């Protein structure tokens, strides 16, 4: 468990516009994120309607891609990092952005048709509590889209290099990165049915579409 003070220190070492700038200036980030956006579009295509909550949205770069692909969605972006949300609000006024903790979401029960946690769970203090909150705010039969680093040997090796180079601002930020099989077990135990999953980027990242039970 990371202390609250240390968690804030980790957040504050990341520039508020990290993703916005990264996809423009770094070829590796541009490739990684464009691949992610294409896969997300495919995963959302059949269920993209109603209200959508993007948890861990950071500066809103990926949230905006979802908005562009599915403009009829009523989208809310949420992150704990105030500076990133303030940047998102200034640069993407088409979307509602909220500062909040995933462990204590500021929404009533059954508020959203879809919730996403895109490269987010590996950074949260308690994934079990986070998933319980996500389940609470999802409507019965609603969908959860998770994108997570797989913690494979290849990923850990690349991540070690990345956090000592261009991604140094993310050093020590992976506090709960689960291997895929464990993540599947945790999702099922949390009350979700896994509908579909897919590995990308040499199995360094996994996309999961899960559904909250209808009862």
Q: In b/e form, how buried is each residue of 148-163, taking b as 16+ CB within 10 angstroms?
A: bbbbbeebeebbeebb
Cβ count near 172 (within 10 Å): 12
Taking a C-beta distance cutoff of 8 angstroms, is the pair 55, 114 a contact? no
pLDDT for 2 = 67
Cβ count near 12 (within 10 Å): 13
Architecture of domain 4-212: 3-Layer(aba) Sandwich (3.40)
Segments making up each domain of the chain, as ranges: 4-212
Per-residue pLDDT of the chain (215 residues; tens, 9 = 90+): 667 777 778 888 899 999 999 999 999 999 999 999 999 999 999 889 999 999 999 999 999 999 999 999 999 999 999 999 999 999 999 999 999 999 999 999 999 999 999 999 999 999 999 999 999 999 999 999 999 999 999 999 999 999 998 888 888 888 889 999 999 999 999 999 999 999 999 999 999 999 998 76
pTM (2 d.p.): 0.95
Give the separation between CA 22 and CA 42, rounded to whole angstroms.
23
Dihedrals phi, psi of 9, to nearest 5 degrees: -60, -40
Give the separation between CA 129 and CA 136, rounded to whole angstroms.
11
């Amino acid at each position: 468990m990371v202390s609250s003070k240390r968690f804030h220190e980790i957040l504050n070492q990341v520039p508020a516009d990290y993703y916005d700038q990264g996809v423009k200036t770094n070829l590796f980030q541009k490739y990684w994120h464009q691949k992610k956006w294409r896969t997300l579009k495919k995963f959302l295509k059949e269920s993209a309607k109603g209200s959508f909550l993007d948890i861990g949205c950071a500066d809103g770069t990926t949230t905006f891609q979802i908005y562009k692909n599915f403009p009829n969605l009523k989208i809310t972006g949420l992150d704990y990092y105030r500076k990133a949300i303030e940047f998102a609000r200034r640069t993407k006024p088409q979307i509602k952005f909220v500062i909040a903790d995933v462990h204590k979401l500021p929404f009533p029960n059954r508020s959203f048709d879809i919730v996403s946690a895109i490269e987010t769970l590996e950074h949260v203090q308690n994934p079990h509590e986070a998933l319980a909150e996500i389940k609470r705010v999802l409507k019965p039969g609603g969908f959860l889209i998770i994108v997570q680093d797989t913690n494979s040997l290849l990923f850990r090796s690349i991540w070690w290099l990345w956090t000592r180079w261009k991604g140094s601002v993310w050093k020590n930020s992976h506090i709960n990165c689960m291997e895929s099989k464990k993540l599947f077990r945790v999702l099922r135990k949390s009350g979700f049915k896994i509908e579909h999953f897919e590995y990308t980027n040499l199995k360094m990242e996994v996309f999961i579409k899960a559904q909250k039970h209808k009862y």
